[in-house]
Every structure is written in structure tokens, then in C-alpha cells.
Amino acid sequence: MVVELKVELRNVQAAVMDIQAADLMSLETGLTATNNRTSHLETENEVQAADLMSLETGLTATNNRTSHLETENEERKVAFYTGLTNIGTVGPFTSSTTLKYSRVFTNIGDAYNPSTGFFTAPVRGVYYFQFTMCGKRTGTMGVQVFKNNQIIMTNFETKDEGGFEYMTNSVVLELMAGDEIHLVLPEGQSLWDSIHNQSTFSGSLLFTL
């Protein structure tokens, strides 16, 4: 019986070892599969993270481009219309004087400064300017158009008698960003303006370059 028990014990031990070996192999196989799956998920996550980063970069670029286009669109909106004064006669002065058109009715883009009388081009483009002069006193009325420090146009007319007299002119100019336009009342000449806006200065951006 002892021999038989020993044989049976060995058989049981062998069976247990086989079962343990099989379980261990199964566990190793499962662990390998789990590791492979984990590695695959990590790779997928990396790919998704890269895709997300690419989308975020693209969205940022799109937002920047949109913002840039909005800024450009705002810069293209340039137009102003002004009256000279409401006090009546302006001039004559003993020296040429920059005209400050203080009655601002339209100033889209804020390119015209009523404190200085200067229009400053916000962008490079082609601009249209128009001015109307009114004179009431006898003598000479007129204005000069300046681009920066250069005279672009001189307009004047001699009045032999009193009463209202008008003159209108316009210019189309190519300007760089920062170029300035202003009107000057020459020495010894005068203009007239009132609440009825007989002397005006206006301009707008036709198109950018």
C-alpha cells in the first residue's frame, strides 16, 4: 500500500505540476496579449494626441488668419466728411495756416484728426479727396493741398465784390501707410463757413494696393 500511495502521490504531483505549468503558460500568454493590447492603445493614444495637436494648430492658424482678415477689412473702411467752422470768416493771416476742419460728421477709421487738420493714411492705397471753398469777403480765397510737405494742388480766386462765391475741386492720390494730407490757407487769403457748412473737406479709401 505504501508503494501504491507513493506512486499515486507522484502521479498527483505530476498532474499538479502539469496544471500549474499550463496555468502559468496561460497567464504568460494572457500577460503578453495584455501587454500587446496596452502597447497598441498607447500607440493609438499617441496618434490621437498628434492628430489633436495638428487640429489645434490648424484651428489656431485659422483663428489668426480670421483675425488678420478682420483687421484688414477694418483698415479698408476709411471715409470722412468735415466742415471748417461755424464762426464765419477764417483769415486772412500773415502766414500760411493749416486749416483745421473741426466740425466732423463722418470719420470712419479715425484717420482724420480735427485737432491737427491732418488725414493720415492707415494703409497703402488709392484715396479720393474733395474740398469745397466758400468766400464772402472781397479779396482772394483759396487753399493748397499738401501731401506730407509737398504741395499737390493750389486753388484760389479773387473776389472783386462781397457775396458768397464757391469753388470745388478733388484729387485722387496713391498714398503709403503713414502719408499725411492737409489743407493750407495761403497768406492773405480768407474763407467763410457757418453752421450751413459752406467750406468742407472729405475723403475716402477707394482701394488698397
* All structural domains of the chain with their residue ranges: 1-75, 78-208
| Per-residue confidence (pLDDT) for residue 29, from 0 to 100 | 82
Going residue by residue through the chain (209 aa), what tens digit of pLDDT does each one get? 766 666 676 766 676 676 777 777 777 787 788 878 888 878 888 888 888 888 888 787 777 776 655 555 556 799 999 999 999 999 899 999 999 999 999 999 999 999 999 999 999 999 999 999 999 888 889 999 999 999 999 998 887 877 889 999 999 999 999 999 999 999 999 999 999 999 999 999 999 99
| Per-residue confidence (pLDDT) for residue 9, from 0 to 100 | 65
Distance from C-alpha of 137 to C-alpha of 140, rounded to nearest angstrom: 8
> How far from 30 is each of 40, 55, 72, CA to CA, in Å?
15, 37, 62
Q: Which residue has the cell 490648424?
A: 58
Q: Is the pTM above the cut of 0.75?
A: no
Cβ neighbours of residue 154 closer than 8 Å, sequence gap 6 or more: 142, 143, 144, 145, 186
| Residue 137 · residue 157 · CB < 8 Å | no
Residue 37, all three cell numbers: 493590447
| Residue 74 · residue 122 · CB < 8 Å | no
- Domain boundaries 78-208, CATH class: mainly beta
- Considering all CA atoms of the chain, what is the largest pairwise distance in Å, rounded to the nearest integer? 153
| Per-residue confidence (pLDDT) for residue 185, from 0 to 100 | 96
Distance from C-alpha of 142 to C-alpha of 151, rounded to nearest angstrom: 14
Nearest to residue 99, comparing CAs of 201, 173, 5? 201
